[in-house]
Amino acid sequence: MKNRLQERRAGLLLHPTSLPGYRNHGDLGSEACRFIDFLAACGFSVWQTLPLGPTHANASPYQCLSVHAGNPELISLDDLVVRGWLDEVGADTHAALVKARQGFTSRADQASREALLDFCQRHAFWLDDYALYQAIRREQQGASWYTWPEPLRNRDSSAITAFQTAHADDIEQACFEQFLFFVQWHALRDYAHQSGVALFGDIPIFVAHDSADVWAHRELFFIDAAGGLDVIAGVPPDYFSETGQRWGNPLYRWERLADDDFRWWLERFRSQLELFDIIRLDHFRGFEKYWEIPAQAETAVDGRWVEGPGAALFDRLAKEFGDLPLVAEDLGLITPEVDALRRKLELPGMKILQFAFDGGPDNPYLPHNHESLAVVYTGTHDNDTSLGWYRGLDAAGRRVVDDYLGLPSEPMPWPLIRAALASVAELAMLPMQDILALGSKHRMNVPGTAADNWLWRFDWARVDPQLIGRMQHLITLYGRARR
């Protein structure tokens, strides 16, 4: 499996929900195009997002209702007005999308109607189950599938048929919303490509318990007869949490997946490769060994390591898709076995500069220890902003950072940004918060916490008029300008 990142590039990390706009989150409309214009003007050639799926109430993109679907909340309502399918933008997204479908039914041209039919046919391998799941979930007032009435929970054929007949409109609505999302995303991807910008996505290794995927494929997960869990996913104690992280996801029956020739994973990659040019594999170490936690445990401390699929899954993916543009998120407790698997697959790993300045000169995150087969970050969506991180260090910690970076005269986070761009790593990724020099209150997520995450947004008023020229200069200076 060859690495496709064959030239020095730089990019920005920003989830679409963080884009500006009049709604309470960003979307795939004009502000997304404006952001691509900004990327291109600065010299960036990669836009990295978090997973794009429909979320639960906590808005975490790492616990989605589907591994294939797009989040309907990201659909640009303004675009639907322009297309003539929606008369006006309302405050409620779902209500607006229902009206858009009515407008589509009465006013769409033949080409659009055929495009909808073609979309539903090509994506039936996941869309049929997802649309049915969403319709039942709505009828059940948002309840998780494992609390539904037993015939629906267990997909009894007569109960499913009766529901499909009674709620055909809701099922078709869910399909229509996915059509809109994919149409808008493809238009955005085309616009990005015309601007020389590649789209960088994210595949979480695990799937949310309450998801269409687990409901429709219970045989592939460790799920009991009532839909409950005896063991769950997470990670042991690390630099993010002293008690580890108890994620709560169901764990895979890898032997059963392998017996089916990894078809479920092939389908998952097929839908994501339609959306992205580069894909990050979140929690890559779980493919070598994963942390199994008793479901009744209050923390992740009392877990155990269990063998994952190793290279077998990736060999099957390579056979199906050829060379894949993957990046391994190899953070946390990385053993020689995990590193050997990544190197065997020739996948770039991740180097986080905020992790670099303790442990001495052998710390693998220090720039002098980087390798070209890597993606370097100042920080990720799980870190504090780089300015907030630096301010949070004690005086001795700041002296170490300043000394390593050459006692810079520039204020933070610019010395760290320069270090990332100067690294030999093929790709350098910067969170939007860092090039805006924002503090801790602007961080995206605090791992291990449930409240007040995934809400951050930026405003164009915060973008200094000199920023584009400054980034052009730095990206060119460190050999990361687009060719």
**Alpha carbons 181 and 71: distance in angstroms, whole number:** 7
Q: How are strands ordered across the β-sheet holding 326-328?
A: 326-328, 278-282, 198-204, 46-48, 9-13, 427-431, 374-377, 349-352
Q: What is the DSSP letter of 368?
A: G
Q: Say how many C-beta atoms besides its own lie within 10 A of residue 106's C-beta.
A: 9
Active-site residue flag, 382: yes
**Alpha carbons 415 and 438: distance in angstroms, whole number:** 14
The single residue of 78, 320, 371, 382 carrying the catalytic annotation is 382
Q: Is 470 exposed, middle or buried (0-12, 13-18, 19+ CB in 10 A)?
A: middle
Evaluate whether 1 touches 324 at the Cβ level (below 8 Å): yes
H-assigned helices in 6-55: 30-42
Q: Say how many C-beta atoms besides its own lie within 10 A of residue 95's C-beta.
A: 10
Q: Say how many C-beta atoms besides its own lie within 10 A of residue 382's C-beta.
A: 16
Question: 180 - beta bridge partners?
Answer: none
Evaluate whether 57 touches 214 at the Cβ level (below 8 Å): no
The single residue of 73, 282, 288, 426 carrying the catalytic annotation is 282
**Alpha carbons 27 and 334: distance in angstroms, whole number:** 36
**Alpha carbons 179 and 298: distance in angstroms, whole number:** 41
Active-site residue flag, 79: no
Active-site residue flag, 242: no
The single residue of 202, 210, 329, 330 carrying the catalytic annotation is 329
Q: Say how many C-beta atoms besides its own lie within 10 A of residue 404's C-beta.
A: 16
Active site residue ranges = 282, 329, 382
